[in-house]
Amino acid sequence: MVNLISSFKSLKKIKVGVIGDLVVDSYVIGTITRISPEAPVPVLHAKEIKHIPGMAGNVALNLISLGADVYLIGRIGEDREGLDLIDYLKKEKIDTEGVIQQSLYPTAIKQRVIASSQQLLRIDHEEVTPLSKEAESAVTAHLIKIVDQLDVIAISDYKKGFLTHSLLNQILEIAKTRNIPVIVDPKGDDFSKYQSCTLIKPNLSEAYHAASHTKQTSLDHIGSILLEKVRSKYLLVTRSEEGMTLFSKEGGRKDFPVKSQEVKDVTGAGDTVLAVMTYGFGNKLSVEESIELANTAASIAIQKIGCSRVTLSEILERLLQINPKYKVFDLDHLFALNQALEGKDFLLFTIDEDQQMSLELFEAIMSLSRLKGEKKLLVFLKSSEKTESLTNFLASLNEVNFVVKSADHLSKLLEKLLPSKTYYLKNNSVLEVEKPSELLEKLLLQKIN
């Protein structure tokens, strides 16, 4: 049984290479209140138009939201759409030095029309154009330049001509010689071009198509065919509402049921799974841990409209809904806690180490819960051998979001984040720290009593 909270707390910042097809995902969002007098079609009153990176760009954005450093390699055209795409990615602090411009190639655009959270129509503007030999050489040279910095590589193939057989062979060979795991989201019927990748992640239809079999064939047989063809360590088949199924070259099958029953839009969910799987492998989690985290992230992604990012904060909140007692963070887990709190308002409540479980403590936390509203409540419990029962009590409360038990741990967290308000318990009364800017010094000197 995978302990997902433990896996989550083990996450660190990593460097990821994302290689694949790029597209502009365009959304026209509005409402429909009438039928056109010109033809029997609905009239959309457009209220919002937005353009964001899709395909490999969406994978990169998801990885940035997870806290990774991302080096993106892909292709755009020599046009305004391509330059706007690069500007967007740069603002997200994604390294785009590996994104090349190819002449006579138009940047791909997928335009979606959405009303009342429902996608009505998609319009594709794209040309499948093979990557030129000159461009392929430039891509390979850039990968060789950065590869020693990378912890893991994600390949996002949408079969738009960028990932040629030759380029894929070079990518996989470069990664193999450096023992860097490669996670592949494939397209097409020839999976042999992903030879010797670490894990390949087709959906159910893609798996049957690549194995040249119909749905009447057992999935177990499909798994054995594809593992032999690809010679990957793992094959992960995503099966929509039926979850995911893992096959490994050592043999055996493991099913992972879906974690969400509410589906608003599956657009981009595969990119989210690829990003989280990649993040897991880059952090040296087991394949089962990586899948469980990816499954959790996918359950969040499909409840959003369009290609959307899933953050570590959202994943943690979902995990704590399942296992609320795992709220205690120590020094090894501060990266995950930092990601969960980044960009959020939170209150800090300090409890002295000689504090006992009491009605007064419970009432103090209830009063803070009324004050915090939508904010998170972080409890700092001064470390002591006698605090285990108190720690468990605090973690059991819905009103408490996170618990830290060491001044040193908290000080490292507060190097980057500061609470909106700070409180401490004295003589069974909740008091506010008058000068929160002096909080770090007080904690280090153990002056809060």
Strands 109-115 and 182-185: unpaired
What is the Cα–Cα distance from 217 to 219, expressed in whole angstroms? 6
Last residue of a domain, one of 322, 337, 357: 322
In a domain, 449, yes or no: no
What's the pLDDT at 421?
A: 79
Tell me: do 297 and 361 sit in the same domain: no
34 and 54 within one domain: yes
Cβ(315)–Cβ(322) below 8 Å: no
Residues 294 and 408 in one domain: no
The side-by-side arrangement of strands in the sheet containing 152-156 is 95-102, 69-77, 15-20, 152-156, 182-185, 199-200, 234-238, 244-248, 253-256
Is residue 11 situated within a structural domain? yes
Strand pairing category for 109-115 and 118-125: antiparallel
Total domain count for the chain?
2
Number of C-beta neighbours around residue 252 at 10 A: 10
Q: Whose structure tokens read 């995990």?
A: 319
**For residue 432, is it within any domain?**
yes
Domain membership flag for residue 391: yes
Residues 54 and 16 in one domain: yes
Per the CB < 8 A criterion, the answer to whether 233 and 249 are in contact is yes
**Domain check: are 293 and 334 in the same one?**
no
Q: Could you tell me which residues come within 8 angstroms of residue 315 by beta carbon, excluding any fewer than 6 positions away?
A: 8, 276, 293, 296, 297, 300
Say whether both 277 and 385 belong to one domain. no
Query: Exactly one of 124, 190, 271, 354 is catalytic; which is it?
Result: 271
Taking alpha carbons only, the member of 106, 63, 6, 25 closest to residue 279 is 63
Report the CATH number that the domain containing residue 43 is assigned in CATH.
Answer: 3.40.1190.20
pLDDT of residue 101: 94
Q: What is the phi/psi pair of residue 312, to 5°?
A: -60, -35
CA 272/CA 294 separation, integer angstroms: 7
Distance CA 161, CA 189 (A): 14
3-state secondary structure of 210: helix
Are 339 and 281 found together in one domain? no
Q: Can you tell me the distance from the alpha carbon of 41 to that of 37, in angstroms, rounded to the nearest whole number?
A: 8
| CATH classification of the domain holding 400 | 3.40.50
- d(CA 278, CA 246) in angstroms, rounded, equals 15
Q: What is residue 204's three-state secondary structure? A: helix
- Domain span at residue 384? 328-444
**CB of 380 closer than 8 Å to CB of 352:** no
pTM of the model: 0.80
Dig out the tokens for 438 from the structure. 């002096």
Q: Are residues 365 and 262 in the same domain?
A: no
Q: What is the pLDDT of residue 436?
A: 54
Low-confidence ranges of the chain (pLDDT < 70): 1-3, 259-268, 302-308, 321-325, 331-333, 353-355, 383-387, 409, 427-428, 434-449
Looking at residue 2, its pLDDT comes to: 54
How far is 260 from 331, CA to CA, in rounded Å? Answer: 32
Residue with tokens 């618990």: 403
Is 271 an annotated catalytic residue? yes
| Shared domain check, 339 and 315 | no
Domain's final residue, options 322, 345, 368? 322
Asked which of 287, 322, 357 is the last residue of a domain, the reply is 322
What count of other Cβ atoms lies within 10 Å of the Cβ of residue 37? 7
Could you tell me if 174 and 197 lie in one domain? Answer: yes
Residue 99 lies in a domain: yes
173 CA to centre of own chain? 27
**DSSP-based three-state secondary structure for 65:** helix
In terms of domains, do 279 and 403 share one?
A: no
Contacts of 312 (CB under 8 A, 6+ apart): 8, 11, 65, 66, 67, 336, 339, 340
- Answer yes or no: is 154 within a domain: yes
Q: Are residues 363 and 304 in the same domain?
A: no
How far is CA 310 from each of CA 164, 271, 293, rounded to the nearest angstrom? 30, 10, 11
Q: With respect to residue 85, please indicate whether it lies within any of the assigned structural domains.
A: yes
**Has residue 91 been placed in a domain?**
yes
Q: How far apart are CA 395 and CA 400, in angstroms?
A: 7
Predicted local distance difference test score (pLDDT) of residue 156 = 96
Output the furthest CA–CA distance in the chain (Å, rounded): 77
